[in-house]
């Protein structure tokens, strides 16, 4: 997913992205959704099959 699209998602959730990097924005979105901010930490294995970030993460 492009950073522009991620920023649009964040904006729709009232998250001020400022100068956040891609992974920081995704972590903020994950937290706002009530999920663990795990993007980028999977190290090749992830059991969260329904996560919208799964493809980018792995």
Domain residue ranges of the chain, discontinuous segments joined by +:
3-57
Supply the pTM of this predicted model: 0.87
Could you give the CA distance from residue 24 to residue 7 in angstroms, rounded to a whole number?
11
20 Cβ contact list (under 8 Å, min separation 6): 28
Mean pLDDT taken over the chain = 91
In this prediction, residue 57 carries a pLDDT of 87
User: pLDDT tens, 14-47?
Assistant: 999 999 999 999 999 999 998 889 999 988 888 8
């Amino acid at each position: 997913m492009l950073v522009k699209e991620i920023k649009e998602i964040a904006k729709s959730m009232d998250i001020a992205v400022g100068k956040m990097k891609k992974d920081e924005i995704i972590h903020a979105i994950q937290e706002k959704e009530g999920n663990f901010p795990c993007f980028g930490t999977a190290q090749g294995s992830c059991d969260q099959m329904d996560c919208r970030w799964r493809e980018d993460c792995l």
